[in-house]
Amino acid sequence: MFSLATICGFVFAPAASAHGVGGAQPSNYQTVLAPLSPALKGVRLEPVDLGAQLELTNTGEKSFTVLGYEGEPYLRIGPTGVFRNRLSPATYANRTRNAQGAIPSYADASKPPEWIKISSNNWVRWHDHRAHWMGSQEPPKVRAEPGREQVVQNIRIELRRGKENYVALGAVRWVPGSSILPGLVGALILAAIVAGASRTRGADEVVMAALGLAALGEIIHVVGAWNATTANFGSKLGASIYGLGGIAIALVALVWVKRRGATAAAPIVLVAGLFLTLGAGLADITVLSKSQIPSIFSPLVARLTVIFALGLGLGLTLAGALRLSRGQKKSKKIAQETCCE
């Protein structure tokens, strides 16, 4: 059974707040990018993964060049595929979201480009540090007024086709999140209802309903997060493994309760509750407090799925523990009566 200190420790643990799918983490930074000016048919530039990357699509017949941070040719995309300039400093600065790693000495923005083909696609994605906040902490003006929406940095991305220049303007905005307390209170109330109802005559139905709702809620959460990122299958699977595990164990526990009853299935109900509480609830706790959430569903739906996972998971954990304790006491009583006879 969890103590308040244990729960708080999990809530504020860095690992618990770092869950996400493929690097698309909940945040309060919003990347807004206007269409290219002048407009170009068949060419689209937009932020993906909550601004962690930009995606450029070119279905036209002419190639375009994306300029790097020093105005040098960086990427070229056209009918023959995507090419990257190995001498562009941006090639190495954009390897990771946080620009980690050294830029080699041969990279020189002033030299003619050396193009290397990287794909045959008509689209390309890259980390562009002009389009997301790079600091390890909020900028001074945000720290001064954290409750106010404001522009953190302006965005200017330049493209070139022949001698023609095109510009996409935008901004990285700070959009304050909401308090985590209402969500936690709602989860605790839900947990109390499940734990209390599990002690009644209809315990089997209550536990099965809680397991079914928890599994359904986590399925919605995983589907929403899975389809809101451009990460590869392996990254998505790795980031969702605990949620998927919670779904699987919840469904197994539901079948076990239906066949043998809540008391006999208490151990697996307890395990399912722990998986849902930790892997599907606390691991995604930042969804309750951030304004920008990686999900194809609305922020309200995403938050409700986390509240359900946390509340139902904790309630099932308590229900399983109570039933397990009750079963042990019953077995002990039977043993004592048999001994006395």
Q: What is the tens place of the pLDDT at every residue in 147-169?
A: 999 999 999 999 999 889 999 99
Q: How far apart are CA 99 and CA 80, in angstroms?
A: 29
Residues 216 and 323 reside in one and the same domain:
yes
Q: How far apart are CA 265 and CA 22, in angstroms?
A: 35
Check whether 18 has a pLDDT greater than 80: no
- In this prediction, residue 171 has a pLDDT band, given cuts at 50, 70 and 90, of very high
Residues 69 and 164 reside in one and the same domain:
yes
Residues 274 and 162 reside in one and the same domain:
no
Domain span at residue 170 reads 29-174
Helices 266-275 and 203-226 cross at an angle (nearest 10°) of 30
Residues 189 and 163 reside in one and the same domain:
no
Q: What is the tens place of the pLDDT at every residue in 173-223?
A: 999 999 999 999 999 999 999 999 999 999 999 999 999 999 999 999 999
3-state secondary structure the chain: CCCHHHHHHHHCCHHHHCCCECCECCECEEEEECCCECCCCCEEEEEEHHHCEEEEEECCCCCEEEECCCCCEEEEEECCEEEEECCCHHHHHCCCCCCCCCCCCCCCCCCCCCEEEEECCCEEEECCCCCCCCCCCCCHHHHHCCCCCEEEEEEEEEEEECCEEEEEEEEEEECCCCCCHHHHHHHHHHHHHHHHHCCCCCHHHHHHHHHHHHHHHHHHHHHHHHCCCCCCHHHHHHHHHHHHHHHHHHHHHHHHHHHHCCCCCHHHHHHHHHHHHHHHHHHHHHHHCCCECCCCCCHHHHHHHHHHHHHHHHHHHHHHHHHHHHHHHHHHHHHHHHHHC
- In this prediction, residue 13 has a pLDDT band, given cuts at 50, 70 and 90, of very low
Residues 185 and 316 reside in one and the same domain:
yes
Walk across the sheet containing 115-119 and list its strands.
29-33, 164-174, 150-161, 64-67, 73-78, 81-85, 115-119
Out of 120, 147, 174, a domain closes at 174
Share of the chain above pLDDT 90, in %: 76
Tell me the CA distances in angstroms from 118 to 81, 86, 91, 93, 124, one per residue in order.
8, 11, 12, 17, 9
Q: Which of 274, 257, 276 is nearest to 265 (CA)?
A: 257
pLDDT at 99: 81
**Out of 9-13, 94-98, 165-169, 201-205, least confident range:** 9-13
- In this prediction, residue 336 has a pLDDT band, given cuts at 50, 70 and 90, of very low
Residues 16 and 39 reside in one and the same domain:
no
Q: How far apart are CA 145 and CA 130, in angstroms?
A: 23
Residues 190 and 156 reside in one and the same domain:
no
Residues 285 and 193 reside in one and the same domain:
yes
Residues 207 and 105 reside in one and the same domain:
no
Mean pLDDT (the chain) is 88
Residues 200 and 243 reside in one and the same domain:
yes
Q: Are 217 and 309 in contact (CB under 8 A)?
A: yes
- In this prediction, residue 11 has a pLDDT band, given cuts at 50, 70 and 90, of very low
Out of 125, 153, 174, a domain closes at 174
pLDDT at 230: 92
Task: Give the residue, 38 or 340, on which the prediction is more confident.
Answer: 38
Domains held by the chain: number: 2
Out of 174, 202, 228, a domain closes at 174
Residues 212 and 157 reside in one and the same domain:
no
Residues 168 and 184 reside in one and the same domain:
no
- In this prediction, residue 23 has a pLDDT band, given cuts at 50, 70 and 90, of low
Q: How far apart are CA 310 and CA 279, in angstroms?
A: 9
pLDDT at 175: 97
